[in-house]
Structure 1
Amino acid sequence: MHSKKASSHKLVSSGKSMNTVTAKVVLISAIASGQGKTTTTAALARKLRLRGERVVVFKTGPDFIDPVMLERASGAAVHSLDLWMTGLPASQAMLAHAAANADVILIEGVMGLYDGNPSSADLASAFGVPVVAVLDASAMAQTVGALAMGLRDFGPVNLAGVIANRIASPGHATMVAQAMRDIPLLGSLSRQEDALPERHLGLVLPEEVGHIDNILSTLANQLILDDDAWNALPSTTFSLPSSAESASEWQSPPQLLKGKTIAIARDAAFAFIYPANLRCLRALGATLIFFSPLADMPVPATADAVYLPGGYPELHAETLSSAMQWRASVIAAHAAGMPILAECGGMMAITDALVDMQGHSWTMAGLLNGRVIMQKKLAGLGAQAWMLPAGELRGHTFHYSRFETELNAVAHTLKHRPGYNIEKGEAIYQNGNLRASYFHSYFESHPSATASLFLRAAT
């Protein structure tokens, strides 16, 4: 990917050592989940990329799976934007840096446009970004116009247009377009015979779908854009501070992990890692090395700490159960006092046993007494915060299993629900220098607190 020429996109602001950068930016939202936001965002990203445009995609709120699919569609890394979890300054900086290197920035919203606190609408308003609504037209026609006007006027937001999803025919698209009144119908996406595959936590990871690029290219071809309406969308301008002015805790934290090597499990069973988490650990001075428990790789001998992120251990329980070298190595690392952080799927893999959806029980590493049982009902969802001595580490939870244990939690996260009483969130378990929970941490929300999880406790 080539960079924009600074001469054509950057202007020096008077009186400050600061440039401005511009790009076409839209936030893609809907009335609810299930309207096809991710499919439409992926189709649009791939379509624009095939046209030769430089596309950067962001995902609103906590998510691991959609960003991987959107990265495949756009060809560029996908980071999280969230006014609470990532914070306003970091979100502003990421958008500005993206605008310096992209023609188009797409921000996929979360849930419905006004759902949550802060909501996708709040994010769009904070940065002056126009909204494009994806509306499922499969069971309606003219009513799409009414929904669009409701979304525009409730906020209000700058509703730049609508992309109608699951259109049955050109005649169907015409009826929708005629009902839009003064709201542009930017495009339409026909019903998909070969859609993006899903499972209990969301989309299937791209590497598990052999023909994923064919699916994405087909979606791009099925997306019919009104080029005049799309090209008429205004660009958004962002301030890009100089390197000296942009220094901050989230970008340049103290080198608390300098000289430390962190071993990170990364494979199909441990795939849920925010790119920002890796960036944060490196900014803290750590050297990162990766290994695959599924391939029965042991914890690397050079490691000073271990990070076991979330993923799909329930889909690979038999393989993990038989990975004797991996199990022995993590047991030995724990016995040696090595700091270990295990999040959600990472925690599941170090309990005594994991019971899959079929009721089969598989032996795990056994560092936490108890067993994890998969279930069809959602067991935990939402933004939460972990209060550590060094500060508040923000993140989220999302899981379809429960941990049956007699262990006592050493702490609980707190649910982020503005306007409600403070509620306990996920249990935090500790065994020596091992900390484990269903909670997924966003490390850049507090780098110093993050560093404390990978340092040996004082003795």
Structure 2
Amino acid sequence: MSATCPAVFIAAPASGQGKTTVSAAVARYHRDQGLDVRVFKMGPDFLDPMILEQACGHPVDPLHLWMVGADECRAMLHGAAEKADLILVEGSMGLFDGDPSGADLAERFGLPVLGLIDASGMAQTFAAVANGLASWRPGLPFAGVIANRVGSAGHGRMLGAALPEGIRYFGALPRNEAVGLPDRHLGLVQAEEIDDLEQRLAAAAEAVGEAGVTGLPEPVAFDAGELPEPEKELAGVRVAIARDAAFAFLYPGNLRLLAAMGAEPVFFSPLAGDRLPEAEAVWLPGGYPELHLDALAANEALKADLAAHHDAGRPILAECGGFLYLLEDLADVAGHSASMAGLLPGRAQLAERVQGIGLQAAPLPEGEIRGHTFHHSRAEVALEPIAHGIRARDRGSAAEAVYRRGRLTATYLHAWFPSNPEAVAELFRP
């Protein structure tokens, strides 16, 4: 049985157009009007969803036809439509970029596309870009466009007047440094680290209201997804999960799956000096360990606990930042280094440029798990990998290594657990 809810896919011609800021602003505006707003992020991402969650008040899941899968995407959209008054999906990169692209996702689920265009320094060419987005793929549902970062009210009116008939103009948002979001080498700064985030969201929502960018999109009918209930393969298994500013890259869907399989999550903070909680398995997710080298190095008790857990033959899964933490030594981009947990022989250093990016699947002995990689560090590990990731595209090129020592599995890949629940259960089962 289908569920109906107003929904829109906020897309752009390219990265850097302001999609996250505007998506968060629209979400907060309608939340402030008393609506239940659910937001999704197209593609693998941890940082944008933190901002979007703060704006709408609900966890933000990824939607991606390859990594998440069409059935899981359908189920999540249907579930949101049953409860929400408005669904927003923030795109990634440009609307037609990637394979599958945001346009593929929008077309698959009938999500009307709202084109967000950075109009700074632009006049009538704005209309040409809008027309290209609207007409490039015949049959793609298109709601209209928003002009972002306009110089004045007159500039906004000129942009709207230039649009061809048939393209709805949702309005223009002015340039406003007070609503911008700070970033660093992996993207936006984490929500909990932005001290004035609430003020920025309030200012952004106010700008949306003043600009009149407030019209609700048309309702969309979402079919019910049919997904099997996971078996309780981890019933009674306590999974110790690192979670703080150094280890924050956790998909809500991964946590839901562990809970659905019967696992009991036990969170701890390496940065706060926590020791390892009593648990049968450990998960060290990604994050920013390179920004907290001295604090992580100082927690000697946790390092000893992890070594004892590992020596006892208990499972550990370490992803990206968690993988770096298990090396012997980690250095920042300036060369300052510190001793890490030392469960893997090797070291890593942060680089100026991206060292790995893209969708990949990890062909583990337990089964293939899909996910993605995005990191600025280079790791040298004196251990033969048990496997290398398989790229979603360009399958002939080298991909991320997967290392294993006993029950310890470590890799740069961030896994989407629901892509293979049985394999995940095997990874965490004592």
Q: Is the pair's TM-score, using the shorter chain for normalization, greater than 0.5?
A: yes
Query: Superposition pairs for residues 242-391 of structure 1, below 5 Å?
Result: 246-248=226-228, 252-301=229-278, 303-391=279-367
1:122 aligns with 2:104: yes
1:184 aligns with 2:168: yes
1:113 aligns with 2:95: yes
Which position in structure 2 is the counterpart of 1:439?
413
Provide the rounded CA distance (Å) in 1 between the counterparts of 2:368 and 2:231. Answer: 17
Note the C-alpha offset of 1:422.
Answer: 3.5
In structure 2, relative to structure 1, the CA distance for the partners of 1:207 and 1:164 (3 Å cut) is same
**Is 2:106–2:113's contact at 8 Å kept on the other side of the alignment?**
yes
Deviations 1:39-62 (A, max 9, x none): 110111111111111110000110
> Could you tell me which amino acid in structure 2 is paired with residue 204 of structure 1?
V
Report the more deviating stretch, 175-184 or 22-31: 175-184
Q: Structure 1 stretches of 5 or more lacking a match? A: 1-17
> Could you tell me which amino acid in structure 2 is paired with residue 412 of structure 1?
H
> Partner of 1:114: helix, strand, or coil?
coil
Note the C-alpha offset of 1:208.
Answer: 0.9
Which position in structure 2 is the counterpart of 1:239?
223
Report the more deviating stretch, 63-72 or 192-201: 192-201
**Is 1:25–1:105's contact at 8 Å kept on the other side of the alignment?**
yes
1:206 aligns with 2:188: no
Report the more deviating stretch, 381-390 or 107-116: 381-390
Which position in structure 1 is the counterpart of 2:158?
175
Note the C-alpha offset of 1:199.
Answer: 0.8
Note the C-alpha offset of 1:227.
Answer: 5.7
Which position in structure 2 is the counterpart of 1:13?
none
Runs of 4+, deviation exceeding 3 Å: 224-229, 420-424
Query: Superposition pairs for residues 143-182 of structure 1, below 5 Å?
Result: 143-156=125-138, 157-182=140-165
Q: Structure 2 stretches of 5 or more lacking a match? A: none
Provide the rounded CA distance (Å) in 1 between the counterparts of 2:398 and 2:258. Answer: 28
Note the C-alpha offset of 1:430.
Answer: 0.9
Note the C-alpha offset of 1:265.
Answer: 0.4
Provide the rounded CA distance (Å) in 1 between the counterparts of 2:257 and 2:214. Answer: 40
Provide the rounded CA distance (Å) in 2 between the counterparts of 1:380 and 1:168. Answer: 37
Note the C-alpha offset of 1:247.
Answer: 4.6
Provide the rounded CA distance (Å) in 1 between the counterparts of 2:13 and 2:95. Answer: 6
Provide the rounded CA distance (Å) in 1 between the counterparts of 2:395 and 2:428. Answer: 32
TM-score (norm 1): 0.90
- Among 420, 424, 441, the alignment partner of 2:398 is 424
Report the RMSD for the aligned CA atoms in angstroms: 1.5
> Could you tell me which amino acid in structure 2 is paired with residue 283 of structure 1?
A
Which position in structure 2 is the counterpart of 1:6?
none
Which position in structure 2 is the counterpart of 1:405?
381
Corresponding residue pairs, total: 427
Deviations 1:319-338 (A, max 9, x none): 00111111111111111111
Provide the rounded CA distance (Å) in 2 between the counterparts of 1:255 and 1:389. Answer: 21
> Could you tell me which amino acid in structure 1 is paired with residue 383 of structure 2?
L
1:79 aligns with 2:76: no
Deviations 1:56-87 (A, max 9, x none): 00001100110010000111111111111111
Deviations 1:8-48 (A, max 9, x none): xxxxxxxxxx3x32111100111111111111101111111
> Partner of 2:313: helix, strand, or coil?
coil
Note the C-alpha offset of 1:455.
Answer: 2.5
Which position in structure 1 is the counterpart of 2:202?
217
Note the C-alpha offset of 1:282.
Answer: 1.1
TM-score (norm 2): 0.96
